[in-house]
Structure 1
Amino acid sequence: MCTHREGQHYGFLDDLEYGTALWFRWDGSDVELVVLPDCPVAAQEPDREGCCLFADHAEQHTWEDTVEEAPCTS
């Protein structure tokens, strides 16, 4: 089993009305459902692709290059 590092983690559940989405938020064994506003940041021209995360998220936006993750091993 792969374990998460400490801190809060989020998982997208569903879009709600325009500009908000329902997310799972967990920290250890504590889990809750939260409604969060969409991230308003979009990529530069020409694509103007929007970020698929919530406002004020940590790390980079979904349209930015991602750092390669280490595989999860048991």
Structure 2
Amino acid sequence: MTILATKDIEINAEPIALYQILKFEALVSSGGEAKSVIDEGRVMVNGEVETRRRKKIMSGDIVEFAGERFRVILQE
């Protein structure tokens, strides 16, 4: 099993929709692509496959996609 390095994503307000995280961090090229990869079950939140596009992401959540892991933190 590969251990992924965790990168921080700073948000300035919470909650934020899952698809917006993928789009704003340029992990996908568009909102439509973000929704597609979520629908296909290619995104995990806190270790579970997440298929809800508008899943509310809060500070402390871990998002995994395309072999990368991100910790969401609220900007102070």
- TM-score range (shorter-chain normalised) is under 0.3
State TM-score, norm by structure 2. 0.21
Max Rg structure = 1
Higher relative contact order (CA 8 A, sep 6+): 2
